[in-house]
Structure formats: structure tokens, C-alpha cells
């Protein structure tokens, strides 16, 4: 954006119930605007009192998304980065806790010169400053701001008041209000009901915000009569009542909105139609086509601790989808609760039919023994394995115990008295007991070993940068012991302090690799992360070899017995 241009604002709110998909709606709007050449930035304002979601349970809040600068943010920022090219940071996610903390710190310093500190104007001014700071630093054509929570919640009122003031201060030509609402189907009546939407808009109007566009979530299309009724009672134009139907893949949402003219309506209201008249969705349509129409598939087991809530691994699941697109494959994921494998004597048979196994990140001791069983099975049966964060740490523990004969090898996170602490707490964090923000966070550089699978996957790159979120590391005192038994340390931090990647030699295992960082945070639908692309490709090759083996057996053809068989309890 040129210096003389003014940033325009789109504020996205939600009503009736939570979990309607405001984040996806905001990300889809950003995606559509970018297809017209508009420079976009995104923000999320969350009403909860936590300073950030870093200390919140994944079962409560879903995934914590980490940005390059180490901010622990809401999972919606993951949607923003996947759907747009916006570079996000801590400045793009503010909570009530962080806003109030900032105001209180200013009051303690005496910045307010003895004034009585109130929600209006001090809290609302702080919110407006946070929003305008992003606009001033990034200078986007359009800044999209999502307000978390639901209209009517007590905690969201300061944020709603702040965006009301921003709308007035910026002017109607420079601010647009989009409201995501619900039009439920009542089975007993056999019809969709608009009353919840009417009440939600009325509540919004009572605090001074008149929505310009309504995104109506429903499980079936809205009739023309229903659209007219909603437009009449909510005081919006008929073409501003957009049907936000459930779709087979989230990447179809921008296309569905475009076909109803949402982006045309937005740029018209913001007076951008002359500068950005056309949208180019060719690549996006191709992406959706592959996701929906791919005929070949792979089946991958994710052996994790938080599988009861899939949002706990949101970026991970999407990264596998992206890798499937890159390989022209459909990726079927089976969520395996790691704790259940620990108590199951038939765990090998449960894992046998998967084309590949992935162990993701997590915290705490629960379910670790199940992860170790899954890793041992993958290593011995030559099933492709990919470990992320805790998945790398547990792979090191399993190798130390079963290959290096360090029977009680462990992490000090699980057993602080282990005689072989192959995983230990960061030296910088010893004695630090606070949980919030006390980890190795954000982007760190890593040097890749020449001739390694890791370097090959990254296209021959000598150095990479990836995002981290963890407290425990591989203990470098055990590098020589594990190397002597065949483990390859293929990625080391540039300061030589931290092990970043491990792998098994390709002559002993077709694909066994793990990393301390979280590559899923940087995967995009049109630019899949190379580690996931390679992993899905390995899963497909494993499936082909398994199918060929079955065909040979069925035809009575003499065959060599592959090692993809039951794993014995002893090494």
C-alpha cells in the first residue's frame, strides 16, 4: 500500500452460538481479497482473561498456533496464515488479559497522570491502539479483525465497543461489519428458523453496530424468501445475506462465498472495485478439485494424547491434507489414543493396516508408553514413521531402550530420577516453574547433515528455519551412544546446542524421521511442507509394496518374506 492510501477495515463478529467458523470466514474473506491483488492483514481479538492460550488445555481451546516471533496464539491464526500470505506475529492476537495487563502496567508507571482508569475510554483505547498499530506497521490495503466469542457475552463488550468507535472514526467508506450467525433447521417444524439471527443482529445494533453483511451458517440452502425475510428484519440488502453452508472441505469456503458475490460486495462497499475488479481463483479451484476427486488414498495413524478433540491437532491435520494434494492423494487419518495402546496386548494388529504412523507433540507422561509401542512397531516393521516434537523425543527414548540397551532411558519430564536422561529440560529453564511463555518458542535455524534424508527432503538446503514450542531437548551427552547403534542426527541448531532432527539410515528403514520443531505451522494448501509431502509419499509407496505382496500371495507366486510382519516383544 502506498503512503497516501488509507487502510480499510473489516470487522468480523459472531452471534447465536460459538464455533460457527468466524475464523474460517475471516480467513476466506482474506483469501478472496488476495485473489484480486489486495494486500491483506489479519487480527484476532479474544475476550478471555488468559494473557495468551499457551497455558490452556488443548481439550478446552484446541491447538496453540505459534508464529515466527514465538507468540502462542489462537488456532484461528493458523487459518489466517494458511488461507492468506499475511505474516503474523504477537501483534496479531490480543486477549482481554493482555489488554488489561498493558493498561494496568501503564497505570502503575503513572502514564495516566492520576486519572481514574475505566473500561471506556482506557480499555477501549488500548484495543484501538493495538488494531491501528498493525495497520501502521504492515500498511495493508485491508485489515480484517475477528472478534472472538459471541455477541451478548459480557467479556466481549469492550472489544465490540472499540470496533464501534473505530467504525465511526474511520468512516463508513473505510469500515465494514460482517456478522456470522446461525439459521438452524428445526426438525419438528421441518423448516429453517431466522429468529436467532434476528435477535443476534438486534443485540449488535443495540450497542451501536449495524452489520453490513450477514454470513448465515446452515446445513441446507437458504431460500429466496428466507433471504428476503432476514434482509428485511436485519436491515441489510438482500444480496448481503450470504449462505454459509457446510462444505466437504474448508478450502471450498472461499469459492462458495465468491459464487454468491461476497467479494464483489465487499470491494464495492469499501470503494475498491476500480482498483481490483477481478478475482483469480484458478489455483484454488484446482486445489479443491484434487481434495474432492483424488481416487488413490493412504491411511495414516496419528498416535497422540489429545485425539478426542481434533482441533488439538488442527495444523497437523491440514498439513497432511496439503501433502495429499501435492501427491494427488486422499489422506485418511485414524486418530489413535496413545493411552489405549499401552493397555492393549493386540496393539500390533491395530497398527498393522496403516500405511504410515505419526506421533505428534504433547506434554506430560500420560500415554507415553503407548507412543513407545507405536514407534517400536514402526521401526521394526519398516512402516514409515514421522515424529514431531514429543514424537522425536519418544523415538529417541525407544531407540535408547531397545537398540542401545539403556533399559530405563527416559525423559526427565516423565521420570526425573532416570539413570539415562536422554531427554532433559532446557538448561535455561532449570528452576523456572512458570508455564506461560517459558519454552523454546518461535523460529530457530537448523543446519542439515550432508547426505541425510532430511537434507534431500528440503531440496538440498544446508540451513532451514522452523517453529518450536517445547521445554525439553535431546541430551547431547547421548549423541555418540545412539550414533554408534545407527541413529543419524541429521539436524542440529546453528549454535550447536540443540538436536533438531533424527533419522534412521535408508538402508535399514525406508522412512523413519523425526524433528523437534513443528513443521505443520508453516504448511499451506498451495505450498505443502516438504516433510509432510515426503511422509505421505512414503506412505503411498508402502501401500503399493503391501498390495503387491498380497497379489503375489494370492497368485501363489514364490515371494520373499518382507519384514512388515508382527513385532516380537524382544529386540
Gap between the Cα atoms of 487 and 466, Å rounded: 22
Annotated catalytic, 389?
Answer: yes
Alpha-helical (H) ranges within 44-119 are 58-61, 76-83, 96-109
User: Measured between alpha carbons, how far is 101 from 397 in angstroms, rounded to an integer?
Assistant: 41
C-beta of residue 452 within 8 angstroms of C-beta of residue 523: no
d(C-alpha 239, C-alpha 517), whole Å = 46
Please enumerate in sequence order all residues whose Cβ is within 8 A of that of 426, keeping only pairs 6 or more positions apart, or say none: 439, 440, 471, 472, 473
Examine the residue annotation and report whether 216 is marked as an active-site residue of this protein.
Answer: no
Q: Residue 123 contacts by C-beta under 8 Å, 6 or more apart in sequence?
A: 99, 100, 103, 158, 162
Backbone angles phi, psi at 240, to 5 degrees: -95, 0
| Separation between Cα atoms, residue 167 and residue 100, nearest integer Å | 22
Do 10 and 267 meet the contact criterion of CB atoms below 8 Å apart?
A: no
- Do the Cβ atoms of 244 and 215 come closer than 8 Å? yes
CB 76 within 8 A of CB 26: yes
Task: Determine which helix (DSSP H) or strand (DSSP E) holds 441, and give its type and residue range.
Answer: strand 440-448
The grid cell for 349 is 494388529
Question: 426 is written with which cell numbers?
Answer: 532446557
User: Residue 261 corresponds to which cell in the numbers above?
Assistant: 458475490
Residue with cell 532449570: 430
Alpha helices in 92-215 (DSSP H): 96-109, 124-138, 157-170, 195-206
Pair 253, 24: CB distance under 8 Å: yes
Rg value, the chain, Cα: 26
Give the three cell numbers for residue 519: 513443521
Q: Are 145 and 43 a contacting pair, CB within 8 Å?
A: yes
CB count within 10 Å of CB 400 equals 24
Q: Which residue has the cell 496419528?
A: 302
CA distance 550 to 425: 46
Query: Grid coordinates in use for 382?
Result: 519398516
User: Which candidate in 31, 216, 389, 515 is catalytic?
Assistant: 389
Which helix (H) or strand (E) element contains residue 493?
strand 488-493
User: Across the chain, how many H-helices and E-strands are there?
Assistant: 19, 23
| Separation between Cα atoms, residue 30 and residue 436, nearest integer Å | 30
238 is catalytic: no
Residue pair 145/31 in contact (Cβ under 8 Å)? The answer is no
Quote the Cα angle for 269-28-322, to 5°: 160
Active site residues: 389, 518, 520
Amino acid at each position: 500500500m502506498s503512503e497516501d492510501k488509507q487502510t480499510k477495515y473489516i470487522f468480523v463478529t459472531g452471534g447465536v452460538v460459538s464455533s460457527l467458523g468466524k475464523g474460517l470466514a475471516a480467513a476466506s474473506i482474506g483469501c478472496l481479497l488476495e485473489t484480486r491483488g489486495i494486500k491483506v492483514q489479519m487480527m484476532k481479538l479474544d475476550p478471555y482473561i488468559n494473557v495468551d492460550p499457551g497455558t490452556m488445555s488443548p481439550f478446552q481451546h484446541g491447538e496453540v498456533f505459534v508464529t515466527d516471533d514465538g507468540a502462542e496464539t489462537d488456532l484461528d491464526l493458523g487459518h489466517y496464515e494458511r488461507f492468506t500470505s499475511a505474516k503474523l506475529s504477537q501483534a496479531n492476537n490480543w486477549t482481554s488479559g493482555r489488554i488489561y495487563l498493558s493498561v494496568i502496567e501503564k497505570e502503575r508507571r503513572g502514564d495516566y497522570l492520576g486519572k481514574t482508569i475505566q473500561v471506556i475510554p482506557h480499555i477501549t483505547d488500548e484495543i484501538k491502539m493495538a488494531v491501528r498499530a498493525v495497520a501502521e506497521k504492515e500498511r495493508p490495503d485491508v485489515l480484517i479483525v475477528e472478534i472472538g466469542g459471541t455477541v451478548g457475552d459480557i467479556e466481549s463488550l469492550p472489544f465490540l465497543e472499540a470496533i464501534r468507535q473505530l467504525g465511526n472514526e474511520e468512516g463508513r467508506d473505510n469500515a465494514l461489519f460482517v456478522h456470522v450467525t446461525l439459521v438452524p433447521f428445526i426438525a419438528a417444524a421441518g423448516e429453517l428458523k431466522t429468529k436467532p439471527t434476528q435477535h443476534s443482529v438486534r443485540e449488535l445494533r443495540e450497542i451501536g453496530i449495524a452489520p453490513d453483511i450477514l454470513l448465515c451458517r446452515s446445513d441446507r440452502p437458504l431460500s429466496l424468501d428466507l433471504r428476503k425475510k432476514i434482509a428485511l428484519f436485519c436491515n441489510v440488502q438482500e444480496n448481503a445475506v450470504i449462505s454459509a453452508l457446510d462444505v466437504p472441505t474448508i478450502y471450498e469456503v472461499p469459492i462458495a462465498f465468491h459464487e454468491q458475490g461476497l467479494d464483489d460486495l465487499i470491494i464495492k462497499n469499501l470503494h475498491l472495485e476500480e482498483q481490483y475488479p477481478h478475482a483469480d481463483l484458478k489455483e484454488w479451484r484446482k486445489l479443491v478439485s484434487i481434495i474432492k476427486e483424488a481416487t488413490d488414498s493412504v491411511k495414516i495413524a496419528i498416535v497422540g494424547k489429545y485425539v478426542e478433540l481434533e482441533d488439538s491437532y488442527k495444523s497437523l491435520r491440514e498439513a497432511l491434507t496439503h501433502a495429499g494434494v501435492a501427491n494427488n492423494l486422499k489422506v485418511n487419518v485414524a486418530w489413535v489414543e496413545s493411552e489405549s495402546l499401552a493397555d492393549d496386548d493386540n496393539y500390533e494388529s491395530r497398527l498393522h493396516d496403516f500405511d504410515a504412523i505419526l506421533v505428534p507433540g504433547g506434554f506430560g507422561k500420560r500415554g507415553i508408553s503407548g507412543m513407545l509401542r507405536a514407534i517400536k512397531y514402526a521401526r521394526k516393521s519398516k512402516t514409515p514413521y514421522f515424529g514431531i516434537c514429543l514424537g522425536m523425543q519418544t523415538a529417541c527414548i525407544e531407540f535408547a531402550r531397545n537398540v542401545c540397551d539403556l533399559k530405563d532411558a527416559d525423559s526427565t519430564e516423565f521420570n526425573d530420577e532416570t539413570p539415562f536422561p536422554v531427554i532433559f529440560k532446557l538448561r535455561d529453564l532449570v528452576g523456572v516453574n512458570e508455564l506461560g511463555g517459558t519454552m523454546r518458542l518461535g523460529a530457530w535455524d537448523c543446519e542439515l547433515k550432508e547426505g541425510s534424508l532430511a537434507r534431500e527432503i528440503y531440496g538440498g538446503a544446508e540451513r532451514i528455519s522452523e517453529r518450536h514450542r517445547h521445554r525439553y531437548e535431546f541430551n547431547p551427552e547421548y549423541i555418540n551412544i545412539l550414533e554408534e547403534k545407527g541413529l543419524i542426527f541429521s539436524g542440529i541448531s546453528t549454535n550447536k546446542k540443540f538436536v533438531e532432527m533424527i533419522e534412521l539410515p535408508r538402508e535399514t528403514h525406508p522412512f523413519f524421521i523425526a524433528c523437534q520443531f513443528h513443521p505443520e505451522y508453516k504448511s499451506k494448501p498451495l505450498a505443502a511442507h516438504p516433510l509432510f509431502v515426503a511422509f505421505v509419499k512414503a506412505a503411498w509407496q508402502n501401500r503399493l509394496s503391501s498390495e503387491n505382496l498380497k497379489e503375489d500371495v494370492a497368485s501363489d507366486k514364490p515371494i520373499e518374506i518382507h519384514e512388515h510382519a508382527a513385532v516380537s516383544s524382544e529386540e
